[in-house]
Structure formats: C-alpha cells, structure tokens
Amino acid sequence: MIWPFRKAQNGRSAFSCEIECPDCGAPHSYEDEGFGALVQRSCIKQDACMVQLAAKFGIGNGVGNWQYDEDVGLLEFHFPDGKVCETPLETIGSWFEPRNEFLWSWGNEYISENQTAVAQKAKEFGEQRGFRPLTSKLVWLSLDDAWHLAKVAASVSKSKGVYAAPVSETLQMFFAITDPKWRPEH
C-alpha cells in the first residue's frame, strides 16, 4: 500500500514525531522544515518506485505472501501462480503500535548488522545534516509517519521501494527493496 505524504493546513509538512532527548532521555517533539521537505521528496520518489514495483513484480498489490530467510539473506514474495520475486534482505526498522514506537534496525540487537545497510545510510545522512529522527534509535510517531521515515531511508540509500510486513497485530517490519528479481523457474 502506498501512503501519500500529508500536508498540514498551513502548507508545512505534516510529519510529526518525538525523539529521545540526549540530556534527559525523555521523548520531546521534533520539528524541522528541512526534514519535512526531505520527507515529502522521499515520499514522492518512493511512491513512484512502488508503482513500478507493483507493475513489474506485483509487490504491494495485496496478492500472495511474503517471507524472509535470514540465513540466506533474502526477502521473498510468493504469488499464487508459483512465481517468486526475491530481493536482498534489508531491514529498515519496526513499528510497534501500542507505543507508536519506531525502532531503527541499526539499533535493534536482534537484527543482524549485515541486514541494516539501508538504515545505516539513513543514520549517516541524518548525522551529516542534523536530522535527529534518522539518528535517534527510537522515534515515537504514527504508522503513517513510520512509512514516511522508511521512505526517507529508502530514498537516501537509492533503494527501489519499501515493503511493510505485518509480523503481528501490533508489529510492522519495514524492509527496503533493493534489487528485486524473479527467481528462475526450475
């Protein structure tokens, strides 16, 4: 599903989040017009990428199932006709509904470091530009804004798309689609 970027009534970006204060550890509201503009550009770019992925590979069209194989390092999309599209496994982060909490994959001890390159690039980009939502391990935001954060990560890393996979009723995992290919038929 493609989540369009929202605009506030005054024309400014509607991206909204809280990040952990380095001084007191409590969540504080974060606003930055430059970051809001980056979010908007990233959403436009990634939404166009996702339209192409849906047309070429069927990713995001609501048909079929997904799975990942951490040992092999692949995210797979299985379709009813037996075709399988695969892409290297790149975890951006996870969003936990009860706390509206986004955890970057680079900050998640349960995710292998070799699956966090896209999130690491976003973190480095944020460090260079002072965009704290990209450098704060935890970010508190809505599901819509978790999509926006994932699209920023995909955009700055030049990924071809984002996939959000429901892991449970309260947990979504965000993956970058970096190099999708049809698995050869046997």
Domain ranges of the chain: 34-182
In percent, the amount of the chain with pLDDT more than 70 equals: 92
Q: Which segment of 18-22, 27-31, 60-64 scores lowest on mean pLDDT?
A: 18-22
Q: Which segment of 25-34, 49-58, 153-162 scores lowest on mean pLDDT?
A: 25-34
Condensed to tens digits (0 to 9), the pLDDT of residues 87-126 reads 999 999 999 999 999 999 999 999 999 999 999 999 999 9
Q: Where are the alpha helices (DSSP H) in 73-173?
A: 117-129, 143-156
Comparing CA positions, the residue from 90, 80, 61, 102 lying closest to residue 156 is 90
Q: How does residue 11 score in pLDDT terms, banded at 50, 70 and 90?
A: very low
DSSP state of 170: S
**In residues, how long is the chain?**
186
Read off the pLDDT of each residue in 150-173 and give the average, rounded to a whole number: 95
pTM of the model: 0.88
Pair 157, 150: CB distance under 8 Å: no
Read off the pLDDT of each residue in 49-59 and give the average, rounded to a whole number: 92
Q: Find residue 104's DSSP bridge partners.
A: 93
Using CB atoms within 10 Å of the CB of residue 108, give its burial: 0 to 12 exposed, 13 to 18 middle, 19+ buried.
Answer: middle
Cα–Cα distance, 42 to 3 (Å, whole number): 12
3 state DSSP class of 86: strand
Cα–Cα distance, 9 to 124 (Å, whole number): 32
Q: Which two tokens stand for residue 174?
A: 């965000």
Q: How does residue 2 score in pLDDT terms, banded at 50, 70 and 90?
A: very low
CA atoms within 13 A on the CB side of 44: 6
Specify the pLDDT at position 180: 96
